[in-house]
Amino acid sequence: PGEWVSCSSPAADSFTPHIINVNSGEDVTMKIISFSQQGPRSICILSANGMVSSVTLRQPDSSGGTLTYEGQFEILSLTGSFVPSESGGMRNRSGGMSISLSCPDGRVIGGGVAGLLVAASPVQIVVGSFVAADSSNQKAAKKGSATTEENDSAFRTSPDSRNKATDINVSLP
């Protein structure tokens, strides 16, 4: 306990930090998804800062529906990951994000991001990319091959995360 442990596994050597900059008015979610589709690596969100003006969150207590909040919210925490997967010969991305936001009056809201996450100011996200230990892409990455076809990489959500309820819009002062 309290000692530094050296990690010399191939997976540790492949972890690379990246910064994603999002301009005011852009969708943070789509910028992260676009970045994740640029290659065969998995990504995890390490931190984020900035303000958002609109966020759509999953609400588990409302029969799978969503709530959209509009106003000025400071990002307190943004976490998530996107991992390459293969199903039926098609390459996809699976994963998602959760966010905690501070309202102007000090209340905190949050939950699973289920749609738009619009930047109200420049937003900076730090992500780490890596080759997942059980990823089928690991062999290709070790050989130095980047043969993924971007057209085959599509962001897809699991059937459980699809919303069938009516969206609710909430505007906060």
**Can you tell me the distance from the alpha carbon of 36 to that of 39, in angstroms, rounded to the nearest whole number?**
7
Question: What rounded mean pLDDT belongs to the chain?
Answer: 77
- In the block, tokens 């010399």 appear at 8
- pLDDT tens for 102-125 read 999 999 999 999 989 999 999 999
Structural domain boundaries in the chain: 16-130
Indicate if the pLDDT at residue 18 is higher than 80: yes
Q: What is the mean pLDDT of residues 8-25?
A: 80
Report whether 6 contacts 12 (CB < 8 A).
Answer: no
Q: Which one of 11-20, 39-48, 57-66 scores highest in mean pLDDT?
A: 39-48
Q: Which of 52-56, 60-64, 65-69, 161-165 has the lowest mean pLDDT?
A: 161-165
List, in sequence order, every beta strand (DSSP E) within 10-167. 16-22, 42-49, 51-58, 66-87, 90-102, 108-119, 123-130, 154-155
Q: Give per-residue pLDDT as tens, 123-169.
A: 999 999 998 765 444 444 444 433 333 333 333 333 343 333 334 44
Three-state SS string across 14-25, please? CCEEEEEEECCC
pLDDT average, residue stretch 19-45:
94
Domain 16-130: which CATH number of 3.30.1330.80, 3.20.20.140, 3.30.1490.20, 3.40.50.800: 3.30.1330.80
Sign of CA dihedral 22, 27, 30, 32: positive
